[in-house]
Amino acid sequence: MDDTSSRDDGGGSDKVRDRVVVSVIIGLAWITRLVPMPIWVALSMVVGLASMLTGKRHVVLANVRHTHYGSPPGFRGWWLGASMIGSHVRTVIHTLRASIDPPDASRFSARGLEHILPHLGQRGIILVAPHAGPYTTLAMMGRRWLADQGFEGELVVVARMFQPLRSDAVMDWFVDTLGKGALTIIPVDEQPQKLAMALQRTLRNNGIVVLLVDEPTPTPSLNVPFFDSTIRMPIGPARLARATRSVVIPVMARYRPLGRQSIEIAPAVVPAADPAVTLGQAARSLEGLLRTNLAQWSMLTPIWSTPGNAKSTSLQQAELHLHTHGSDGLRSIDEWREAARANGVRVIGITDHDHIEVARTWAMTHERDDGEVAVIPGVELTARGRIVHVSVLFPEDVPSRIPKAGTPLPEIVRWAREIPGAIVVLVHPHPILWKRQLRGLAAEGLLPDAMETCYPLVGWQNRTLEHAARRYGIAVLGGSDAHLAGGQLGRHVTQYPGDGIEDLVTAIRTRTTRAATLPGGVTMPGDVHIRQSLASWMLPWRERSGVEPVRQRILEGARLRADGARPVPVGVAEPVEER
């Protein structure tokens, strides 16, 4: 009797507390509605700056550090951190105002419509988003926009209340507020089986489900590569998409000038059998969306698995563009392997010019992965015009025959697609031709798996190439194109999460690689480059009598000179991170 009475009293006090909390929230909502929004915008920034003197700065500065790995922003990092906190405050204010006065849908705009319009009403869509910009109120305006596009299906938002205001009463108020936008709101803490059934029903009826995926949840999750580290992302969206034949579309909400709000839509991700592949592709897209307006990422919960560092232990290094004496290189595969061991490179790719036999024979007589350095046989093929090169890596089967030099680029890609596991890479893209090549290959459905964005003499093209890779949905790689000495290896690298060949291939397939230019290297005597270039241009005539012995003597002279190359002091070159 006493116990029951005690419980009743406790329940009564909880109800009183909830009523008080909700009354306070409603009062605050009216205050936010009466005060002009420009004042709130300024006040939110003041709160952000003041919060940088508290423990919250550690969370937002960690976000800045990870997203700017390799190029620390200095004082600007503190301003970005304050902006992130201010964005969170601004989102709370917008949510409070929306409970009194629903937002004006005419102030909504969308970018990237071509990625979502073909799927509207045709199949289920899972929108995955980061905690950024006006993500709580944009759904209310988005419903109106979707109706204008002819979408009549259900729009479901899986919601979680702001910390520390997580209680049933506050969630009820929140659900009622967003419900004014003709949305279905489901709390993330709903019983898992019930939640899954509701979302599956929506998706199978070609509806839309909206999820925030960059905050740790108690649901089953996977460590997913994110910038230079990893975060835990819920596995549910990937499984849900696969089970309902839906697509996953990464999106980001943004504040715009003059009180406008917008959403940026990334290309759709078709779910793979492995949830890690789906989540990896989604995370890759979210990275690109966050980079464009990092100041609005209002993530105030610790999310990172490892310290922020361009050489984080969560990433391995790969060098996938090396040449041996099989074409115009000065080193053997075993020598490159030793150089990789000395430079901390986990995987190397052998890509002789229009020549596969050296790499193929080596692979037949050696262990590809000795636990320290793995070797992927490959070839660098000369496409029509002799100035366009494409590399093909063979992590599985190595062909005995390759296309002849001068074969058109689309035919090379078609040939490679017939070889199990082959990876096609556009290497050191030609500055005049690469845009046209990518457009043409995309039109034929023959896009490469990756392209080099960090390589010798890339210069100003680096950022342009990275942007193009994101646009076409292909992986980015770094390659030193080393011919001469072991000291060249490790200068331009591909970084990836995991360990050996299998993890590298997965990273390329899921677009979770990084292209980086790191300090170090060697300086070569000028005559080494001259000799090596001469030997390279003699390659097409190597089968003619007397040519190959002369070419080998030239290469041997270049090798002797290269052995005396001086190392560049570490710190001369600045890292270039993939963006």
Provide DSSP, 291-347: HHTGGGB---S--BSS---TT-TTEEEEEEEE-BTTTT-SB-HHHHHHHHHHHT--E
Give the integer Cα–Cα distance in Å for 331 and 498: 28
pLDDT above 90: residue 375: yes
Q: What is the pLDDT of residue 203?
A: 94
pLDDT above 80: residue 129: yes
pLDDT above 50: residue 2: no
491 vs 261, which has greater pLDDT? 261
Question: By the 8 A CB rule, do 83 and 296 touch?
Answer: yes
What is the mean predicted confidence (pLDDT) over 159-165? 55
In sequence order, the 6+-apart residues with CB closer than 8 A to the CB of 35 are none
pLDDT above 80: residue 76: yes
pLDDT above 60: residue 578: no
Q: What is the pLDDT of residue 313?
A: 39
In sequence order, the 6+-apart residues with CB closer than 8 A to the CB of 88 are 131, 298, 300
Q: What is the pLDDT of residue 169?
A: 65
pLDDT above 80: residue 6: no
What is the mean predicted confidence (pLDDT) over 76-93? 92
Residue 543 CA, distance from chain mean position = 45
- Residue 148 φ/ψ region, left for φ over 0, alpha for ψ in the -120 to 50 degree band, beta for the rest: alpha
152-166, 201-215, 263-277: range with lowest mean pLDDT:
152-166
Residue type, 414: R
Instruction: Using the Cα atoms of residue 493, residue 496, residue 502 and residue 505 in order, give the sign of their dihedral.
Output: negative
183: helix, coil or strand? coil
pLDDT range class, residue 451, cuts 50, 70, 90: very high
Give the integer Cα–Cα distance in Å for 275 and 232: 13
Q: Which residues pair with 424 in a beta bridge?
A: 392
pLDDT above 50: residue 111: yes
What is the mean predicted confidence (pLDDT) over 63-76? 81
513: helix, coil or strand? coil
Give the integer Cα–Cα distance in Å for 161 and 172: 10
Q: What is the pLDDT of residue 272?
A: 85
DSSP per residue, 80-139: HHHHHHHHHHHHHHHHHHHHHSPPPGGGEEEE-GGGTGGGTTTS-EEEEE-SBSSTTTHH
pLDDT range class, residue 5, cuts 50, 70, 90: very low
Give the integer Cα–Cα distance in Å for 83 and 234: 27
- Radius of gyration for the alpha carbons in the chain, expressed in angstroms and rounded: 28
Q: What is the pLDDT of residue 158?
A: 85
Question: By the 8 A CB rule, do 253 and 298 touch?
Answer: no
pLDDT above 50: residue 518: yes
Q: What is the pLDDT of residue 304?
A: 86
381: helix, coil or strand? strand
Give the integer Cα–Cα distance in Å for 516 and 311: 10
Q: What is the pLDDT of residue 352?
A: 92
- C-alpha dist (Å) from residue 105 to 34, 388, 408: 20, 49, 50
181-190, 412-421, 441-450, 480-489: range with lowest mean pLDDT:
181-190
pLDDT above 80: residue 566: no
172 vs 521, which has greater pLDDT? 172
In sequence order, the 6+-apart residues with CB closer than 8 A to the CB of 292 are 252, 264
Give the integer Cα–Cα distance in Å for 180 and 29: 15
- C-alpha dist (Å) from residue 175 to 24, 128, 143, 432, 437: 17, 19, 15, 54, 50
Q: Which residues pair with 210 in a beta bridge?
A: 127, 157
Question: By the 8 A CB rule, do 285 and 250 touch?
Answer: yes
pLDDT above 50: residue 514: yes
Give the integer Cα–Cα distance in Å for 105 and 111: 15
Q: What is the pLDDT of residue 384?
A: 77
What is the mean predicted confidence (pLDDT) over 76-94? 91
pLDDT in tens, 259-298: 788 899 999 999 988 888 888 889 989 998 998 889 999 9
Q: Which has the closest alpha carbon to 242: 280, 205, 203? A: 203
Q: What is the pLDDT of residue 177?
A: 65
105-114, 117-126, 183-192, 374-383: range with lowest mean pLDDT:
183-192
What is the mean predicted confidence (pLDDT) over 528-552? 74
Q: What is the pLDDT of residue 182?
A: 67
Q: What is the pLDDT of residue 571?
A: 35
151-155, 540-544, 562-566: range with lowest mean pLDDT:
562-566
Q: What is the pLDDT of residue 522?
A: 57
Select the highest-mean-pLDDT range: 37-41, 154-158, 298-302, 392-396.
392-396
Q: Which has the closest alpha carbon to 112: 129, 94, 90? A: 129
pLDDT above 60: residue 565: no
Domains of the chain, start order: 12-296 (no CATH), 315-523 (3.20.20.140), 526-562 (no CATH)
What is the mean predicted confidence (pLDDT) over 314-324? 87
- C-alpha dist (Å) from residue 278 to 119, 204, 368: 18, 19, 28
Question: How many of the other CB atoms lie within 10 Å of CB of 53?
Answer: 8
Give the integer Cα–Cα distance in Å for 51 and 57: 7
234 vs 426, which has greater pLDDT? 426
Letter string b/e over residues 307-332, b meaning 16 or more CB atoms within 10 A of that residue's CB: ebebebebbbbbbbbbbbbbbbbbbe
The fraction of the chain above a pLDDT of 90, given in percent, is: 33
Give the integer Cα–Cα distance in Å for 195 and 239: 13
Select the highest-mean-pLDDT range: 5-9, 192-196, 340-344, 401-405.
401-405
| SS3 track for 450-511 | EEEEECCCCCCHHHHHHHHHHHHCCEEEECCCECCCHHHCCCEEEEEECCCHHHHHHHHHCC
pLDDT in tens, 357-368: 999 999 999 999
Tokens of 409: 């680029």
- Through-space distance between the first and last CA atoms of the chain, rounded to whole angstroms: 65
Give the integer Cα–Cα distance in Å for 48 and 378: 52
Select the highest-mean-pLDDT range: 255-259, 295-299, 565-569.
295-299
112-126, 381-395, 496-510, 526-540: range with lowest mean pLDDT:
526-540
pLDDT above 50: residue 309: no
Please state, rounded to an integer, the average pLDDT across all residues of the chain.
82
Q: Which residues pair with 369 in a beta bridge?
A: 374
pLDDT above 70: residue 167: no
pLDDT range class, residue 330, cuts 50, 70, 90: confident
What is the mean predicted confidence (pLDDT) over 502-513? 89
Q: What is the pLDDT of residue 232?
A: 83
Q: What is the pLDDT of residue 180?
A: 62
- Residue 437 φ/ψ region, left for φ over 0, alpha for ψ in the -120 to 50 degree band, beta for the rest: alpha
Question: By the 8 A CB rule, do 120 and 241 touch?
Answer: no
What is the mean predicted confidence (pLDDT) over 333-354? 90
